[in-house]
């Protein structure tokens, strides 16, 4: 099977699987004071430090969650509960993941003013446009680093810098799910107060994520109980999943640039071959090479997806959370005309040039076979 759906989830790496299994054997509760508990606590500590080091953060700024959805919800609703009585505006972009867009919609229903900034006619976001939407009444700006459907890299660092200079009280949250361990960045240079991460996008298990919360930023928790995660996120920590997350980070962190260069070569090969075959490449040349949006004119996404599936090639028609529904994100990027015939090809460093050749060959076969049938 050829797997090109890594933006949806990745195969857990061997190091992560081994760490999970090892932690299952050391089954103590990390809050317990006996030997087994201390062993479990050490596993959690090591993973927390690994993630913090990769981000350029402090270990005490990392809080484990069940995934990026919980992280983003905690950041957004926490900001609202902390500052929503004094301020009522939240600013997001129009292409955010549902983990950001849905909480923003709920806050809008609760009376907040939600400003959704769209790209310009050239399909690009500009830092000055997003920053201009932030005013003295804004308690939160939330924007993703890399769009999960097109690979578009948003101007997060530039935007956050502009906002902090003019509105230092506004909290800044970034969904870094498609960027962490894929493109080089440090959280302090990025300028984020809060940042969401996911384990299963970087070859760790599902069900584990993290929230970076800059020291000095205080928001209330969403979960109350035993006071785990230094009182911020109650619930017994999932030590095996945390161990797997940390192991994946330890494996990937030293090779971010090398993997980025390699995946860039795969992306270039795919886009060149698509151009030769007359397929449309919707992703911009300077987008993240890990995600490529392409269209085969005349073929609906769902039909093409199932055709490739029968050839043992896994791609998607967009965000995994959309479950096949038409993407509004593509429309925001000016791609509404091709949204019905768009597939997303998303890479990891285990993909090969030969797999790309096979994909393009099957896309050409699909065009020849299915278009004739439709006629």
**Cα–Cα distance measured from residue 144 to residue 226, given in angstroms and rounded to the nearest whole number:** 32
Retrieve residue 273's tokens: 């071959």
DSSP class of residue 265? H
Under a CB-based contact definition with an 8 Å cutoff, are residues 266 and 353 in contact?
Answer: yes
321 belongs to the catalytic site: yes
Instruction: Provide the 10 A C-beta neighbour count for residue 307.
Output: 19
Spatial CB neighbours of 1, under 8 Å, sequence gap ≥ 6? 312, 313, 314
The residue annotated as part of the active site, out of 176, 321, 348, 371, is 321
Strand partners, 146: 153
- The SS3 call for residue 31 is coil
94-127: burial string, b at 16+ Cβ within 10 Å, e else = bbbbebbbbbbeebeeeebebbbbebeeeeebeb
Q: How far apart are CA 170 and CA 87, in angstroms?
A: 10
DSSP letter string, 272-324: HHHHHHT-EE-S-TTS-TTEEEEE-TTS-HHHHHHHHHHTTEE-BSS-GGGTT
Active site residues: 321
């Amino acid at each position: 099977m050829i797997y090109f759906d890594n933006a949806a989830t990745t195969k857990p790496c061997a190091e992560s699987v081994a760490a999970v299994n090892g932690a299952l054997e050391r089954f103590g509760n990390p809050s317990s004071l006996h030997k087994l508990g201390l062993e479990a606590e050490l596993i959690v500590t090591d993973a927390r430090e690994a993630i913090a080091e990769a981000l350029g953060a402090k270990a005490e700024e990392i809080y484990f969650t069940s995934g990026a959805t919980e992280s983003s919800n905690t950041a957004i609703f926490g900001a609202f509960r902390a500052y929503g009585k004094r301020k009522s505006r939240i600013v997001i972009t129009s292409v955010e993941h549902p983990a950001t867009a849905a909480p923003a919609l709920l806050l809008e229903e609760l009376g907040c003013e939600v400003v959704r900034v769209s790209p310009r006619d050239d399909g690009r976001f500009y830092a000055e446009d997003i920053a201009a939407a932030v005013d003295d009444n804004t308690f939160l700006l939330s924007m993703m680093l890399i769009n999960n459907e097109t690979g578009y890299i948003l101007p997060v660092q530039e935007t956050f810098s502009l906002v902090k200079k003019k509105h230092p009280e506004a909290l800044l949250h970034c969904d870094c799910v498609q960027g962490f361990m894929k493109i080089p960045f440090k959280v302090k240079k990025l300028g984020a107060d809060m940042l969401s991460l996911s384990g299963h996008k970087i070859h760790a298990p599902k069900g584990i994520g993290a929230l970076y919360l800059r020291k000095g930023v205080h928001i209330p928790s969403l979960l109350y109980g035993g006071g785990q995660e230094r009182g911020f996120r109650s619930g017994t920590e999932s030590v095996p999943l945390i161990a797997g997350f940390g192991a994946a980070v330890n494996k990937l962190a030293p090779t971010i640039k090398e993997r980025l260069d390699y995946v860039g070569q795969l992306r270039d090969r795919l886009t060149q071959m698509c151009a030769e075959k007359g397929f449309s490449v919707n992703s911009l040349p300077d987008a993240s090479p890990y995600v490529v949006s392409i269209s085969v004119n005349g073929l609906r996404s769902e039909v093409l997806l199932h055709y490739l599936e029968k050839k043992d090639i896994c791609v998607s028609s967009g965000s995994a959370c959309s479950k096949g529904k038409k993407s509004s994100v593509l429309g925001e990027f000016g791609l509404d005309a091709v949204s019905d015939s768009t597939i997303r090809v998303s890479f990891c460093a285990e993909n090969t040039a030969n797999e790309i050749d096979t994909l393009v060959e099957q896309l050409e076969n699909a065009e020849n076979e299915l278009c004739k049938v439709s006629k």
